[in-house]
Each structure stands twice: as C-alpha cells, then as structure tokens.
Amino acid sequence: EPSLHLPAPKGVEVYSYNFHSLLRWSPVPVQGGSVLYTVHYRTGAFPQWQQLNCTRIPQTHCVFPPLLQKRRWTLFLRVRAELGHSTSPWAECGPFVAEHHTILGPPRVNSVSASFNSLAISVTPPFTPERGEVLQYRVLYWENTTRTTEKELRERGTLLQMGNLKESTLYCFRVRVELERDDKKLLLGQPSGPECHRTALS
C-alpha cells in the first residue's frame, strides 16, 4: 500500500542523447533514513508493467538497459520512492519513442580541405544509423563579411563539398544531421559550432 507520508517522485522524464536514454527524477526529500527508488516499464505492445534493472536504488536516474534501447518501441515508465516498509505512489512518464524524442548531437568535423573555389568537409556521424535509417547532412555556410547571405547544402555522404566559392575568401559553416526513415523526416540534429576556413588562391 502506498504511504501517505512518502510523496511520489517529481520531475520524472526521459533524457535521451544519440539514442542513449535514461529516466531521471528529482530526489524525494525525507527526514531520517535514505530513500530508495524502483523503476518499472511497459511497452505499447504489452500492457503489463515489468521490472527494470533499477530496483531499490539510491540514485535518481536509471539508465536504459540494451533491451530497451530500441529506437521504434513505445515505452512507458514509472518510478516510486521506498523508505523502510513505506512506498510512495507511482509517478509515470511516457509515451517515449527514441526515434522521435532523442536529441541528435552534431556531427564531428574531421578535416576541411580548400581549393580556390571550394571547401570539402569530412565528417563523422554522431551515431551509427540502423538498417532502414538514412542520415542527411545539412551544411549552412556563408561568406564571412558584414552582409551574410546563408546558403544550404544537403548531402547523404560524409564528404561534403561547398562549390562555386570565391577564391582567397573566408567562409564559415555549421553542419547538422537529419534522420530519415522510409523517406520520412524524423529528427533534426543540433548544429556543430561555426568553423571558418579560407579558400585558396588560384
């Protein structure tokens, strides 16, 4: 039976970055004794609650095990506080679907090579796409002058070439990824920090 004196955890949310997910919540304040927490989950396909790998833990977060790192599953989660024989009511969270709700980080820029009229950027994706997923890279670039006109380049490969540039001119860019599945756009990632490089002299 839930105890009237032990409140349910608040601020319960899933935090997910590049498909690595965890459930987190605010600590339940009590005087005397240390509060422990238990987490359960269920999927959209099976309505029964099941134990996660977080039973009577002192931490205020629970990392998803590999079993739950499925990008297309619909997940519901719940957590309760426990103190001695007292338990709080459950606090629920969801639905969570990783391929719609994770935060995609920026790609890593490995190198930039310049010619007199182009810049070629080599990038590494922020995560490994699964079968059926496609990553599109979006490069926003501009001439580093007071009048900045931004242009956009979209590529599916990890070598991105900005062409038709002026020689010996400083250009700046940011890169981000867009995740697609079956030609549907799912998520737009965070942009990389701006980098500036000069084209060569012909």
Of 2.40.10.220, 3.40.190.10, 2.60.40.10, 1.10.3720.10, the CATH number of 10-100 is 2.60.40.10
Is the pLDDT at 23 greater than 60? The verdict is yes
Is the pLDDT at 1 greater than 60? The verdict is no
- Pair 119, 171: CB distance under 8 Å: yes
pLDDT > 90: percent of the chain: 86
Mean pLDDT of 103-107: 98
The predicted-structure confidence for 138-156, as pLDDT tens digits, reads as follows 999 999 987 778 999 999 9
| 108-198 classified as CATH 2.60.40.10 | yes
Mean pLDDT of 75-99: 95
Ranges assigned E (strand) in the chain:
13-17, 20-24, 36-43, 50-51, 61-63, 74-83, 86-87, 91-97, 108-114, 119-124, 133-143, 151-155, 159-162, 170-181, 184-188, 195-198
Site of tokens 């009048």:
147
DSSP 8-state secondary structure symbol assigned to residue 66 = G
The predicted-structure confidence for 185-199, as pLDDT tens digits, reads as follows 999 999 999 999 999
Q: Which pLDDT score is estimated for 15?
A: 98
Same CATH topology for 10-100 and 108-198: the answer is yes
Q: Which pLDDT score is estimated for 3?
A: 57
> How many residues in total does the chain contain?
202
Domain-wise residue ranges, the chain: 10-100, 108-198
Mean pLDDT of 47-75: 95
